[in-house]
């Protein structure tokens, strides 16, 4: 899996997650309009289904030369 960041001007606004084996890509997180001081991540709103999808992909890894996450 890889991640891609999207910028507006010089600010990060979104993060995508990509399965390099299939090319499938999903939005992992969006920048919050205002920080949420009660959330675990004050700056980013993560997509729960994409986190579940990414965890499933990592669990399915059988063998590879390099695995970084």
Q: What is the pLDDT of residues 20-52, one digit of tens each?
A: 889 999 999 999 988 889 988 899 999 999 999
**Nearest-angstrom CA–CA distance, 6 and 57:** 23
pLDDT bucket at 17, cuts 50 / 70 / 90: very high
Question: Mean pLDDT over all residues of the chain?
Answer: 85
44, 29 in Cβ contact below 8 A? Answer: yes
pTM across the whole model = 0.73
What pLDDT, on the 0 to 100 scale, is given for residue 9? 62
**Nearest-angstrom CA–CA distance, 18 and 67:** 14
pLDDT over 70 at 1, yes or no: no
pLDDT above 90: percentage of residues in the chain: 38
For the chain, domain boundaries: 2-59
């Amino acid at each position: 899996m890889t991640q891609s960041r999207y910028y507006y001007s010089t600010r990060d606004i979104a993060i995508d997650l990509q399965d390099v084996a299939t090319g499938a890509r999903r939005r992992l997180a969006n920048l919050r309009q205002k920080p949420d001081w009660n959330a675990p991540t004050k700056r980013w709103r993560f997509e729960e289904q994409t986190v579940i999808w990414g965890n499933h992909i990592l669990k399915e890894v059988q063998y590879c030369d390099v695995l970084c996450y």
